[in-house]
Chain A
Amino acid sequence: GNSVTQMEGPVTLSEEAFLTINCTYTATGYPSLFWYVQYPGEGLQLLLKATKADDKGSNKGFEATYRKETTSFHLEKGSVQVSDSAVYFCALIILQGAQKLVFGQGTRLTINP
């Protein structure tokens, strides 16, 4: 079956630190990969996506590269801000059959000033 495994949290960093949140996946077929972010009291927002191997998604200083050989889609940011504090979800979708998003368990990120 299809599944996503994320780095366990919570993750606490100081402002301007380098961020990596690991994400690996198992999929039958060729998934599209996503990172969603959930700020306190809100729903999920799409942060970035990649639809094929070696694609790099980027947005708001965050980046992730679709690595087929390691089945990974790690989220990185060079210098985090307090406003980046949120819960981050890695997800995949196979655009055949049921076409349901499969989410990782989420990683809570807290950035201290």
Chain B
Amino acid sequence: EADIYQTPRYLVIGTGKKITLECSQTMGHDKMYWYQQDPGMELHLIHYSYGVNSTEKGDLSSESTVSRIRTEHFPLTLESARPSHTSQYLCASREGRGEQFFGPGTRLTVL
């Protein structure tokens, strides 16, 4: 059973607001990931982390930022949201060579 959580599940906000999407896992996994999923379903890696104080940009450029101060927590922040940020955001974690587990996702709508 995967124990990876994302909050909120749905968020509707106005342009210019600062938001933080939360992701937590209780499995002690070292690697964590953020994906952006567009309406056409394709997944784009936007950030990843190999452990505490480690963050890297992914394959798709994103205006969001991330932090990894604790192993279990990998929040994503948008300083000033825009309609182009409207998307589904998926968090995932993995330990070593094991299975990658995904959270349920946050569906963000920026008006």
Are A and B a genuine interacting pair, yes or no? yes
**B residues in contact with A100, CB < 8 Å:** 33, 45, 48, 58-59
Complex CA distance for A42 and B101, rounded to whole angstroms: 12
Contacts known (A42-B105, A43-B102, A45-B102); A103 close to B43, Cβ less than 8 A? yes
Complex CA distance for A101 and B43, rounded to whole angstroms: 10
**A residues in contact with B48, CB < 8 Å:** 100
Complex CA distance for A75 and B96, rounded to whole angstroms: 26
**B residues in contact with A49, CB < 8 Å:** 99
Q: How many residues of A contact B (CB 8 A)?
A: 19
* Interface set of A (CB-CB < 8 Å, partner B): 36, 38, 41-46, 49, 87, 89, 95, 99-101, 103, 105-106, 108
Instruction: Show 15 residue pairs from A and B whose CB-CB distance is below 8 angstroms, ordered by the A residue.
Output: A41-B104, A42-B105, A43-B104, A43-B105, A44-B90, A49-B99, A89-B43, A99-B31, A100-B33, A100-B48, A103-B42, A105-B40, A105-B42, A106-B41, A106-B43
* Interface set of B (CB-CB < 8 Å, partner A): 2, 6, 31, 33, 40-43, 45, 48, 58-59, 90, 92, 97, 99-105
Q: Is the CB of A105 within 8 A of B41?
A: yes
A97 to chain B, nearest CB (A): 11
A96 to chain B, nearest CB (A): 11
B102 to chain A, nearest CB (A): 4
Complex CA distance for A36 and B94, rounded to whole angstroms: 15
**A residues in contact with B45, CB < 8 Å:** 100-101
